[in-house]
Amino acid sequence: QLQASGGGLVQAGGRLRLSCAASLPTFSRYTMGWFRQAPGKEREFVAAMRWSTGSTYYGDSVKGRFTISRDNAKNTVYLQMNSLKPEDTAVYYCAADLHGSSRYEATSNYQYWGQGTLVTVSS
């Protein structure tokens, strides 16, 4: 129900755009989130958007470099990643919280997860 794509290999300083196509029944109440998990590390909050209001939230490590956006017609959320750093290397997951919890950074609040897409940033 969530299909993530757009990962790949990029040099430091480069950019990538991830996409997450969602087929979910009641989209207007969702919070859509992006998380990432590097080898040996816990899954980390990257960005989130409340679908009904368009409000956006970012993890401290990506503020000013990453932008979450949406396409209503396509039921798709994007993560534009600029000024990439080697430490951004991870598997990136999109997720959906049907209830719109206020704790958008908590993985436990998301009921649906995409399969993950690998982003590798070389130095």
Tens digit of each residue's pLDDT (9 = 90 or more) over 65-101: 999 999 888 889 999 999 999 999 999 999 999 887 8
Task: Compute CA distances 108 → 17, 45, 96, 103, whole Å.
Answer: 25, 11, 11, 9
User: What are 12-31's pLDDT values in tens digits?
Assistant: 999 999 999 988 765 566 89
Amino acid at 44: E
User: For the residues 54-66, what does the mean pLDDT come to?
Assistant: 96
Q: What is d(CA 16, CA 30) in angstroms, rounded to the nearest whole number?
A: 24
Q: What is d(CA 94, CA 78) in angstroms, rounded to the nearest whole number?
A: 9
